[in-house]
Structure 1
Amino acid sequence: MQTTYDVIVIGGSYAGMAGALQLARGRRTVAVIDAGIRRNRFAAHSHGLLGQDGKSPSTIADEAKAQLLKYPGVTWIDGSALAAEKTGDLFAVTTADHNTLRGKRLLLATGVSDHLPAITGLQDRWGSSVFHCPYCHGYELNQGPLGVLAVSEASIHQALLIPDWGPTTFFTNNCFTPTEIQRQQLAARQVRLETETVSEIAGEQSAIIKLANGRLIELAGLFVASLTKPASPIAYDLGCELAESPVGFYVKTDELKQTSIPGVFACGDLGRPMGSVTFAIGDGAQAGFAIHRSLIFDGLPQ
């Protein structure tokens, strides 16, 4: 196996593959290291992606991988990247099976991990009746009764957004107390306010909200803005600067997806405050273009 590449891509989901595709088409050698853990693996269908609407996430990813691997410059490595460091002019990446790969550039596409409130039954229904994105899942709930579970004051934005997909109840769950202006905004959007503590989420096809006082509220779907952090420590270990959004941390990049560390790029959910498959693909393509150009122009006499 070749161990020195033009680019090493850590993360082979939508963003990583999109970046690798542009680099392969630029006739560069690319190694993609993929642990096979996509953020949307809990969802049965992916919606809102032009030309792929309604397909399963695994089908979209498998088709993309098959197309990518037709390019001879691409090497696919199933497994995890444990560490990365700069060694001279190259980056050295150590994999879980103790192999070391070297590359002139590094593209981080490891995504983020979602962290949900510690409520019984919530994690079990993530992607089936509990969701984070109404653009991805709201239409299929057929204007049924919906809920928003607060995780912070920032959840007010989500509560004001969701009524376009169905009548909405906002569960503040002891996270914050809405101001008078916020109450007026909720009323203007016809959002019902529920201040009782949520004790459990039940139900099979629906989300049944169990409140601490014993009441049950059945919903077609419950939305919650998960708190996120980078799924891998590699960006942090390399010294990449992080930025914070209302829902968590991500790697800070410029408009070309370059991180604060020269030669290291980040894309997809890892490199933006909010994500979707559409954004991930666009981000990856942008990073691929930028990396290819850096390989050309950074090597010219200055």
Structure 2
Amino acid sequence: MTYDVIVVGGSYSGLAAALQVARSRRNVLVVDAGERRNRFAETSHGFLTQDGSSAVQIAHVGREQLLAYPNVTWVDARAENAEGILDAFTVSTSSGADYKGRRLILATGVTDILPIIPGLRERWGKSVFHCPYCHGYEAGGGDIGVLATSSLSAHQALMLADWGNTKLFVNNMFEPSDDQLAALAARNVTLDYGTIAAISGEEAQPIVEFSDGRALSLTGLFTLSRTVVTGPLPQQLKCALEDGPLGTFIQTDASKLTSVPGVYACGDTALMAGSVSFAVGDGARAGVFSTSIANISQPNALIYIGCVSVRACR
């Protein structure tokens, strides 16, 4: 069997993409390794109608609703190889099976590369976060820490000043410029130049431990991870990548089409920054365009169909 669309990745963007394909009455296969990027977080915030809901439950309900469509097939496996051209792609999985599809949607997400500090990884998504819009409100206007990973952390500290009393832990990662120092002072952000030895404390109250013996208790700790696109498929397919301020992501156009005809990408793997809301919207766009384009015969023409604009295949 040849599927109309194969979606690689069954998290929020992949689910949203597959749902649009299913509702277009085309056969869609979802290949999922079961590793959501936010699997370490218990709750999701900022997603309309689901604010504060279990992150696991949102994905579970999305999968249940998707599988209610008879033209959807789900495979629990890791996609290990992808090759082919428009209308003739093959995806090979960890189960040893090969699947053929006319279009591919890559929704594999990204992998976070975290600072190497004892205790940090264990608290990632619980009391150590990266997105103020997702988790800043829960700090309750209390004492918030920003663990520097580069000069971009100064910008993160400037943002977080809206959510509480913010302290930037430079931790020998960069030397703030005069302009940065002035901007931070204007936002009442204080700086600590001590070397961090470990992160400890309970989920709701992280503690920053310094090599000089000091310890600071916070209501939330934020840091910027570096990201890399998860899995080898973009490189195997020769999709163009972009370097963003926080890491690489797959280059796409407005229709979520990559540099390879017939291959689309969505969610964190195709965005400079992400959230559940961004991922769902991005996935819906990829699903719509991957199917609407299939029967258009005017290359490079922008055609309006119903509520969406569709650009034909390259």
TM-score, normalization: structure 2?
A: 0.93
2:305 equivalent in structure 1: none
Q: What CA RMSD, in Å, does the superposition of the two structures yield over aligned residues?
A: 1.4
CA distance in structure 2 between the partners assigned to 1:175 and 1:257 by the alignment: 35
In the alignment, what sits opposite 1:270? Answer: 269
Task: Tell me by how many angstroms 1:140 deviates.
Answer: 1.2
Supply the distance in 1 between the matched residues of 2:241 and 2:213 (Cα, whole angstroms): 42
Give deviations 1:89-139, integer Å, cap 9, x for gaps. Answer: 400000111111000000000000101011000101001110011111111
The code of the aligned residue for 1:142 comes to: G
Match of 2:49 in 1: 51
% identical equivalent positions: 52
Distance verdict in 2 for CA 1:258–1:71, change over 3 Å: same
Q: Could you list the runs of 5+ residues in structure 1 that have no partner in the other structure?
A: none
* Aligned length in residues: 299
CA distance in 2, matches of 1:54, 1:201: 25
Q: Which residue of structure 2 aligns with residue 28 of structure 1?
A: 26
User: Residue deviations 1:146-189, cap 9 Å, x none?
Assistant: 00011111111101000111101101111111111111100011
- Aligned equivalent of 2:193, options 183, 192, 195: 195
Query: 1:7: which partner in 2?
Result: 5
Would you say 1:19 and 2:17 are equivalent positions?
yes
After TM superposition, the runs of 4+ consecutive aligned structure 1 residues lying more than 4 A away are none
- TM-score (norm. length: structure 1): 0.96
Q: Equivalent residue for 1:166?
A: 164
Q: Map residues 81-230 of structure 1 onto 2, 5 A cutoff.
A: 81-86=79-84, 89-205=87-203, 206-230=205-229
Matched residue of 2:161: which SS?
A: helix
Post-superposition CA distance 1:249-293 (Å, at most 9, x none): 100100110001111000000001000000000000000111111
Structural mapping, 1:47-86, within 5 Å: 47-86=45-84
Q: Which runs of 5+ in 2 are unaligned?
A: 300-312
CA distance in 2, matches of 1:151, 1:204: 23
Correspondence for 1:253: 252
Distance, in Å, in 1 between the alignment partners of 2:123 and 2:135 is 13
Secondary structure of the structure 2 residue equivalent to 1:165: coil
Q: 1-side partners of 2:293 and 2:103: how far apart?
A: 9
Deviations 1:56-111, CA, capped at 9 Å, x for gaps: 01111111111111111100111111100006740000011111100000000000
